[in-house]
Structure formats: structure tokens, C-alpha cells
Chains A and B, each alone.
Chain A
Amino acid sequence: GQQLNQSPQSMFIQEGEDVSMNCTSSSIFNTWLWYKQDPGEGPVLLIALYKAGELTSNGRLTAQFGITRKDSFLNISASIPSDVGIYFCAGQTQGAQKLVFGQGTRLTINP
């Protein structure tokens, strides 16, 4: 089946640092989504990407849909304590009814 490789698996950073994470796939996706999961909660959508090369921002978060359509990137600028959590990428092929999720990146921030 389709698989997404998300990296890094975990990050330990200082408050104020920028964060970068990415997702790669062996197959082409038509949609890339980035979710954040707070402890004890369900995932919440951060950014949705629908076109190759698309660059979309949501506050301090910026995500890009790779031009090969096989990867996506998420950047967080000037991290703050509430950015702590697990970030998941998810992809969907055209016409598919299901998302494929990455394994997640666990972000820890030292104040």
C-alpha cells in the first residue's frame, strides 16, 4: 500500500528557533494536508495544499506542495511553547476516498 515517510521522527528545540519537517512518498498525491495533535486530543488541520508548487501560510506556519507531487514540507518560524505536539502529514490521490498519514513528528520545545 501507499506509505508516507515523515522526518524527523522527533525534534527537541529551544523556544524561538525555526522548525522544518517533511514528508515523502513513493507515489504521487493530489492533496497534501498537515495536521497537529495536542496531547490527549484528536488531530486538527493546519494547512491544506492542492497544487504542485503551492506555498501556503497559516500564521507562523508555512507548508509547500513539492513540484514532483511526491513530497511536502512544513516550516514553523519562531517557535513558542504552544507549538509542542505531534505534527502529521497526510496525502490523498485523486479520486481516493482515504487519506494516507505519515508517522508523525513529535516536537518538544525547551523554554
Chain B
Amino acid sequence: NAGVTQTPKFRILKIGQSMTLQCTQDMNHNYMYWYRQDPGMGLKLIYYSVGAGITDKGEVPNGYNVSRSTTEDFPLRLELAAPSQTSVYFCASREEGTTDTQYFGPGTRLTVL
């Protein structure tokens, strides 16, 4: 199993541009999560999904959108990039019914200039 994979690893955007951060997991996990980590800070939950077709807001959802059309994929969309969205983005997944162990991807480092 590859686990949780994220693309791209790095990206630089101009203000107002849009992009999609990709996240895929091959563990057949129902639960998937998107976090952002600002420099020197902890993880803040952006959106999460408990299964295909179901998504819900986390702590900091403004400026982002998600979709979950398949169990494997959970893309995160930035429509109008702003400097405040400069961060490292982590995707995570876990199996329904397990005791909360989330498996993280390697992250996408995004800079908005």
C-alpha cells in the first residue's frame, strides 16, 4: 500500500489564482481529513469527510472547498488564493470503527505571493 499520497509537493500561486490539492488513499478508509499547518503552529482542520458524498466543515473552512466523489480521493480546492493561505497542507485518513488513528500524507507546501 502507498498509504496517503498528496500532489503536488510544492506550489507557488499568485494572489487570485485557483488550484486543487490532490489527496488519494489506497487503504479503503472512509474518513478523510484536510489540515493546514502554519509555520511553528499545530494542525488546524479545514474539512473532513466520513464517506463518499459526505463532507463537513472543520475549524478553518473559509476560502476552501472539497468534494468526495470516491472513497479514495478527497481533493481540496482553493478558488481565489490569498497570502493568508500560505501554509503546509496535510491530508489524512482513518478507517471507520478504528480507534482514531489517522494516517497522514507527506504534505503540500503552498506559497501565495
List residues of chain A with CB under 8 Å of any chain B CB. Answer: 1, 6, 31, 33, 40-45, 48, 50, 88, 92, 97-99, 101-104, 106
Contacts and interface: CB of A to CB of B under 8 A. Distances in A.
Contacts of A45: 101-103
Contacts of A104: 41-42
Interface residues of B, number: 26
Given A97-B48, A97-B50, A98-B58, A43 B43 contact: yes
Contacts of A99: 45, 100, 102
Nearest to B41: A103
B90 interface: yes
Interface centre among A1, A6, A40 (most CB of B within 10 A): A40
A14 B103 CA distance: 31
Nearest to A103: B42
Interface of B: 4, 31, 33, 35, 40-45, 48, 50, 56, 58-59, 90, 92, 99-107
A37 B31 CA distance: 21
Nearest to B33: A98
Contacts of B33: 98
A41 B106 CA distance: 5
Nearest to B90: A42
7 nearest A-B pairs in the assembled complex, by CB-CB distance: A42-B104, A103-B42, A101-B43, A101-B42, A31-B100, A92-B100, A43-B104
